[in-house]
Amino acid sequence: MINQTPTSPAPQFSDDFTWGVATSAYQIEGAAAVDGRGPSIWDTFTHTDGKIIDGSNGDDACDHYHRYAEDVENLVTLNVNAYRFSVSWSRVQPDGYGAWNEKGFDFYSRLLDKLAEKNIAAHLTLYHWDLPQGLQDQGGWLNRETASHFAAYAAEIARRFGSRLASIATHNEPWCTANLGYGNGQFAPGVIDPVAALQVSHHLLLSHGLAMTAMRALNTPAKLGIVLNQWTAVPATDSPADVAEAKWEYARSVQWFMDPIFKGAYPQLALDRMDQGLFTVLENDLSIIHQPLDFLGVNYYVRAFVSTDNPPKKPEGKLGFTDMGWEIYPQGLSDLLLALHQEYQEFNLPPIYITENGMASADKVEDAKIDDQIRIDYLRRHLAAVAFAIEQGVDIRGYFYWSLMDNFEWNSGYAKRFGLIYVDYDTQQRTMKESAFWYRDFIDAQRRP
Ligand code: IFM
């Protein structure tokens, strides 16, 4: 078991370990209608009454579009050697099909230049939830054609930028796109239809496969993969009902995306509990989805604590809960990594990057300082969990904290702060939190002989 006490000796990672922070386009860029960017489903959603808790939107966000140079300087201060960001599809192709927008590409080119100048490896995500509204108007991810448009967009990004990128991930957390975007409607486009969510999850996987094929055909030097949000599913009690429910939860969330990619089939346990007639999978789809990856991105925030009681049992939360109400449970990260290793190693599991891990806390500026000890403790414990998994033989190559700076937290608006850097949204001033200094020093200590 890992020693989760904060006083345990700091783990030592290899010299070539990737240390990074992550962001996504809609959450930080702002400049929503600047230089020809087309609207995305998140523009539409945030401008619909009642969808975002604090009534806010990403029109300005962190104004990263104009302040990217300062933000890259902050990456340098943080000591990271990698930066994970996403491209706003509608910035580079306003409708999601048809004409490209050169000014949009120019922005990402400027960002890549700046990162290269500072020797920071660029890890690009193609789709972090912001579908061009033009494609939503044609049915969005429920329309199979969207997968082909996505592959064309992927190829264009790889063709233009592939040689300047360390990696390209097709999707970020397709589970969220399907289940929150189309299942419970909490995210854009706000559809509440679990059957549609199932079809969307398949089209997302199909689009991943088509994009991989298109980018491989270009021989892009960037490493290619996908980023999945994952968790272990822990039964609340030993009762057969809770144990069965936990297995089902793991099958429908984690294995639902992992199995088609690595095994070429949807998990039988999940299929057994759903009406297979509900979604359409064409004959070659699974062979398109099932192709080798150069890396797997794992985003970990919380375990699933599964109970059949009504209301469901809650975990004790010995280490507390984040400002999102998510249990702080670092052991879940090592448990998850070991479970993935065990199940998928024989199915060509590639090197893993922890592409997101982080917490929201109710940070306050006091005497020009943000003393977020809770985040330091969170980081320390989760890094210990990563180190433990590496010791156990899991091939993990990097860790990206979510997020570089506070930003637009989807339907929670600006109320939830995940950043290492505090953002004052009135002035756009960035201030390093104590956790930023801690992360900087931790990374520095890893590089010492
Ligand atoms: O902010 C999100 C991010 O966009 C995707 N993963 C989870 C984060 C925290 O909720």
Probe ligand 1: pick from 418, 420, 423, max atoms within 8 Å of CB?
A: 418
Question: Which CATH number does the domain housing residue 348 bear?
Answer: 3.20.20.80
Reduced to 3 states, what is the DSSP secondary structure of residue 403?
Answer: coil
Atom of ligand 1 nearest to the CA of 358: 9
Q: Which of 388, 338, 425 is nearest to 67 (CA)?
A: 425
Asked whether the beta carbons of 120 and 80 are under 8 A apart, the reply is yes
Residue type, 360: A
230 lines ligand 1 (CB under 6 A): no
5 located within any domain? no
Asked if omega into 307 is within 30° of 0 (cis), the reply is no
Q: Which of 418, 423, 64 is nearest to 72 (CA)?
A: 64
Asked whether the beta carbons of 433 and 419 are under 8 A apart, the reply is yes
Probe ligand 1: pick from 88, 378, 410, 411, max atoms within 8 Å of CB?
A: 410
Q: Which residues of the chain are modeled with pLDDT < 50?
A: 1-7
Pairing of strands 352-356, 304-306: unpaired
DSSP secondary structure letter of residue 411: G
The answer to whether residue 391 is catalytic is: no
- Rounded to two decimals, the pTM is 0.97
Q: Which of 400, 365, 377 is nearest to 318 (CA)?
A: 377
Write out the two tokens for 311. Answer: 């209301």
1 located within any domain? no
The pLDDT assigned to 11 comes to 81
Helix axes 64-78, 434-447, angle to 10 degrees: 50
266 lines ligand 1 (CB under 6 A): no
Q: Is 247 exposed, middle or buried (0-12, 13-18, 19+ CB in 10 A)?
A: middle
The answer to whether residue 327 is catalytic is: no
The pLDDT assigned to 274 comes to 84
Asked whether the beta carbons of 172 and 22 are under 8 A apart, the reply is no
The pLDDT assigned to 9 comes to 66
The pLDDT assigned to 6 comes to 44
263 located within any domain? yes
Looking at the DSSP assignment, which residues form a beta bridge with residue 86?
A: 125
4 located within any domain? no
Probe ligand 1: pick from 40, 180, 301, 402, max atoms within 8 Å of CB?
A: 402
The pLDDT assigned to 321 comes to 98
9 located within any domain? no
The pLDDT assigned to 325 comes to 98
Domain that includes residue 440, residue range = 18-446
Reported as a single tens digit per residue, the pLDDT across 325-356 is 999 999 999 999 999 999 999 999 999 999 99
Distances (CA, A) of 337 to 6, 344, 389: 21, 10, 6
Q: Exactly one of 29, 173, 327, 409 is catalytic; name it.
A: 173
Write out the two tokens for 393. Answer: 């033989």
406 lines ligand 1 (CB under 6 A): no
The pLDDT assigned to 3 comes to 41
Separation of CA 176 and ligand 1 centre (Å): 9
273 located within any domain? yes
327 lines ligand 1 (CB under 6 A): no
402 lines ligand 1 (CB under 6 A): yes
Separation of CA 388 and ligand 1 centre (Å): 24
Separation of CA 407 and ligand 1 centre (Å): 10
Asked whether the beta carbons of 75 and 19 are under 8 A apart, the reply is no
Number of domains in the chain: 1
Separation of CA 285 and ligand 1 centre (Å): 29
- H or E element, residue 431: strand 429-432
377 lines ligand 1 (CB under 6 A): no
Q: Exactly one of 29, 245, 249, 356 is catalytic; name it.
A: 356
Quote the Cα angle for 303-372-419, to 5°.
Answer: 70
Separation of CA 409 and ligand 1 centre (Å): 7
6 located within any domain? no
Atom of ligand 1 nearest to the CA of 407: 1
Atom of ligand 1 nearest to the CA of 324: 10
423 located within any domain? yes
Ligand 1, atom 2: closest residue by C-alpha? 409
The pLDDT assigned to 411 comes to 98
